[in-house]
Structure 1
Amino acid sequence: MRISDLVADIGLDVRLRVAGGEGRLNRPIAWCAPTEHMDPRPFLSVNALVLTNGMGLNVRDFRIWDAYVERLMDVPVSALAFGLGAAHRELPAGLLQACEAHGLPLLELPPEVPFVLVMQHVEQVIAAERFEELRQGWELADDCTRLAADGRSLAEVLGRVADAVNARVAVIDQDGFELVAAGSAHGGTARTTLRLPSGAADQFRLSIEGIGADLVLQPILGPVAAVIGMQLSYTLGSRSPLHSREAARFMEALYVDRGDPDVPLRRFALESGFDPGAEWSAVLIGGTADVAPARLRAVAWRARVGLQGVYGTVRFMEEAGLTSLLLQRREGPAGLLATVREFFRDAPEISVVVAESGSLGELPLTLQLARRQVGTPGVHQAPPADLAGIVQGLPSQGLVAMCRRLLAPLTADGAGALLETLEAYLRHSGSAPKICAELFIHRNTLSYRMRKIEELLQLDLADGEVRATCTLALGIVGAANLTGAAG
């Protein structure tokens, strides 16, 4: 209820004598406060409608009226309603002048309009408004509960809330990072937050931006905050479809798979909610030593919750310093790299790698390739293939044995220095300064070791095909060793 509503009610015969400052008549009335004190501030709160007969203010000095009105504006109250008849036959000129000077709305109550009538009217209107706000709040909560029960994403639920309050609504974490948002700030830049019910470890809030000044948030958004909190906990929790036991088992199998037909990837994919025959996308989110784990986790949460609104199926696996997301679209691939970049626009220090896979058989190698690209800050597209990925895709045990036999002379003494030198030589394309710097050896030592390697292998490393063969052999043996360690 506003001052303008009270003035417009013809049944009360309330007369507006001073309109006050700009927009003052639209100020809400929180309650009625009858008082005859010279300084009523200890008994008032913001937006109270002060009712007085002026019994303690039967004075002619303008300065006293001015000080009285100034004290009311300090609260500030919504308006002053002055009752005639008991102590004053007409409004004191000093009071009129003071209200004009300070911009306080002044209402005149004729003798036949008792305070109790005004108080009852205001209380009835406020009660009706509060009931309507509560009704809207519970209807909104019911709508959002149905959306969540139907499997709609958190972004879609927030969209319904944003429509209800005509504002931009976002879920933010304890660090102020947005996990997901919906709507637009139509009503301006005013922003407020409500705490979402959640565990002590995860303090989330609902941010409302551009809210209209005439909207009371708590009654409308209080009930739905519980729904959003529950869905957020479900979305990010260990029992949600995004992070179920089946999904964790599937992704772990993908990371250890080296083309082993005994790994039932197709069954794991079905149990996790994926279509084994569809195309796949992956997003790997990692940080450097300079990125705090809490920061990395918060940004990864924001990305995976946001992607859930775009993709039909989203699953993830968390490790120390790395979050792996596995995705399948509802309707064909479209602009994943650009979509992901939006989620990390304010986090340039995070390393994000986006990869695509055409089949389930290709997916383990795609994930391994993407994992090797993590480390450089920014959002990057993984290449379709690299040498290590090609090597890992060669499952032949005979080939592994052949490569081990080729390299065996370099480890005959058990030290492994020659094998380490060959790896550095191939990695740095024969650059002596880089090899010596990496191995902390003198150039003469490097020359001796390279002659020894060529003698033992009976190969000429000046030949490009020989260098390629040695590179592949090292990669195949390394991949086989990793497989053995994983087993």
Structure 2
Amino acid sequence: MLPTLRSLMRQRELALHLLTPEDALPAGALDAAIEWVHSSDLDDPTPFLSAGQVLLSTGTQFEAAPGAESVFAYVQRLRDVGVAGLGFGTEVVRAGTPDALLDACLQIGLPLFEVPYRTPFIAVARAASDMAAEERFARRSWSLGAQRAIAIAALRPDGLSASLEELSRQLGHWVALFNANGALDRVFPAGALAASQPAGPAAAAGADGLVDTVRREATRLLRRGQRASSTITAGGETLTLQTLGRREQLRGVLALGGSSELDQAGNEVVTAVIALAGLALEQNHSLDRARGQIRAAVLRALRHGDLALATSVSDGLWGELPAEPVRCAVVETRGGQLDAVTEHLEALVVEHPGRLFFAVDDGRLVLCLGEDGLPLLTELCSAFALRAGLSEPGAYSDLDRAMAQAEQALARAGDAVGVSEFGEIARDGVLSYLTTTDAGAIGRSVLQPLSEHDAAQHSELLRTLRLWLEQNGQLDATAQLLGVHRHTVRARIAQIEKLLGRDLSGFQERAELWAALLVAAE
């Protein structure tokens, strides 16, 4: 911190005396940072002053005993320009401080203090300068120490997380990393975004609001596609965001938040971490590509029946493959989700060894899961709003068949988020699977003569056909359901045969029409 009026007052050798009581001043007036100490007896020194400075005067401008209005205007000009305080040197031009000056400072809220004759103005300026120099040296030393601690942290196994955690500790701010898709990747300390919100009924909503605010700003910076930074205020905190990575190849955004803005030393430490984080993310991206290629090779080995090779590679890199019987899942990702989903899966592999294996194959995300890994698939789909198809259990030697089942289950799922199991398709039957293809258009074309006749004649040929087929061609049962005579049903079936040009006495024709009715209804 720079010197303040309070710290100047505590310098006993200066013997400064505060004339305006602290409780009569605006809150924090004595703790405002002092940028410089300037002396002037001009009637209007403000052209030579700037915010955060302290003005010293011997009162030459007040020799003519000016009125209260002119003194008030003088003090108001000092306040308007942002002067932090006014020091009056006594016994040089006049004894004591003019009452009009004290009254004006009290009214306007500008700190006023007396400088005794034995204390030269240069001593006050030098004291402020020395304190500022000491503070700069202390902050520079802190900055070097903080950067050293962060560099040591970067040598740990998870160097990126360790560096960000150390940065948070050194700054006393929370630190969050967003990935290249704008999703929150990690935050230090854990739960800091929620903990930074006020307690009470709205606490949870406030935490979500802060996270959403930071995420939106991070996404905005990423969409620009170039290195950028921003500072915003949200939830009573000052938030600083900086992109990581090269232009057009951004790897993420580093965000910091706290109750106060960072000074130059703090920003220097953040700049160092940004360089480290950018390098780490670039290396991680390269490693991810390499790991992805190895995973794809392991999947190919499994599909070609080389379980020994796949197991050897997996054991050396990720741990055991899921034990047989395994299920295969094909997961559909959209837009830029794939990188974020695979990063999440990498974390799951570490947290739950032996429960799942995944790889990207021709743009498809393929998972192999044991029975104990199925909840992880459900959680994944829920977290990222994904659709997945899941095969029946089987051996790795049947992986091609399992992948085909998973793709069929995914196709059957429609737009529903979550896991669709192939076993459910099998239970519904083959004809139910036809409803996901273009068979519906064919079915409607086959039945078109009946639908047109019903529309023109207000008849019930389509309904009669469906009920007749459901009753296995039994006239009496169909007539009872329709509420007509059995001869009426026989006549309608004959008319249907004529309109469709089909003989419905055989099983094949009946099966064809039943399938047409089923798929045309979808």
- What TM-score bracket applies, with the shorter chain setting the length? 0.5 to 0.7
- Cα distance in 2 for residues equivalent to 1:432 and 1:283: 19
CA deviation after TM superposition for structure 1 residue 42, in Å = 4.5
- Cα distance in 2 for residues equivalent to 1:455 and 1:434: 21
- Cα distance in 2 for residues equivalent to 1:6 and 1:321: 67
Aligned to 1:478: none
Aligned to 2:52: 47
- Cα distance in 1 for residues equivalent to 2:369 and 2:37: 58
Q: 1:220 to 1:461 in 2, by over 3 A?
A: same
CA deviation after TM superposition for structure 1 residue 432, in Å = 12
Q: What is the TM-score normalised by the length of structure 1?
A: 0.63
Aligned to 1:190: 237
Contact 1:24 1:105 in 2 (8 A): yes
Contact 1:138 1:220 in 2 (8 A): no
Aligned to 1:207: 255
- Cα distance in 2 for residues equivalent to 1:122 and 1:450: 108
Query: For 1:259-309, what per-residue CA distance to the aligned partner results, in whole angstroms no more than 9, with x for missing partners?
Result: 3125843354356x2113467999998665xx6x5xx57965985798799
Aligned to 2:460: none
Counterpart of 1:100 (choices 101, 106, 117) is: 106
Structure with larger RCO (C-alpha < 8 A, sep 6+) = 1
Q: What is the TM-score normalised by the length of structure 2?
A: 0.59
- Cα distance in 2 for residues equivalent to 1:97 and 1:29: 23
Aligned to 2:276: 230
RMSD: 5.4
Q: Tell me if 1:168 matches 2:174.
A: yes
Q: 1:219 to 1:334 in 2, by over 3 A?
A: farther
Q: 1:285 to 1:429 in 2, by over 3 A?
A: closer
Aligned to 1:269: 314
Which runs of 5 or more structure 2 residues have no equivalent in the other structure?
Answer: 198-234, 451-499, 516-522
Aligned to 2:11: 9
The share of aligned pairs that are identical, in percent, is: 19
Q: 1:316 to 1:255 in 2, by over 3 A?
A: closer
CA deviation after TM superposition for structure 1 residue 120, in Å = 1.6
Alignment of 1:70-85 (within 5 A): 70-85=76-91
The secondary structure found in structure 2 opposite 1:112 is coil
Aligned to 1:400: none
- Cα distance in 2 for residues equivalent to 1:57 and 1:357: 96
CA deviation after TM superposition for structure 1 residue 176, in Å = 6.7
- Cα distance in 2 for residues equivalent to 1:455 and 1:334: 41
Output the amino acid matched with 2:12.
Answer: I
- Cα distance in 2 for residues equivalent to 1:87 and 1:450: 126
- Cα distance in 1 for residues equivalent to 2:342 and 2:76: 51
Query: For 1:62-113, what per-residue CA distance to the aligned partner results, in whole angstroms no more than 9, with x for missing partners?
Result: 3333333333333433322232344443222232122212222222211221
Output the amino acid matched with 1:17.
Answer: L
Output the amino acid matched with 1:8.
Answer: R
Query: How many residues are treated as equivalent by the alignment?
Result: 407
Output the amino acid matched with 2:34.
Answer: I
Query: For 1:427-475, what per-residue CA distance to the aligned partner results, in whole angstroms no more than 9, with x for missing partners?
Result: 5367799843477734269988999x9869xx978999xxxxxxxxxxx
- Cα distance in 1 for residues equivalent to 2:176 and 2:125: 39
Structure with more helix by fraction: 2
CA deviation after TM superposition for structure 1 residue 200, in Å = 2.0
Q: 1:97 to 1:23 in 2, by over 3 A?
A: same
Q: 1:75 to 1:93 in 2, by over 3 A?
A: same
Contact 1:171 1:204 in 2 (8 A): yes
- Cα distance in 1 for residues equivalent to 2:167 and 2:391: 34
- Cα distance in 1 for residues equivalent to 2:167 and 2:153: 11
Aligned to 2:430: 426
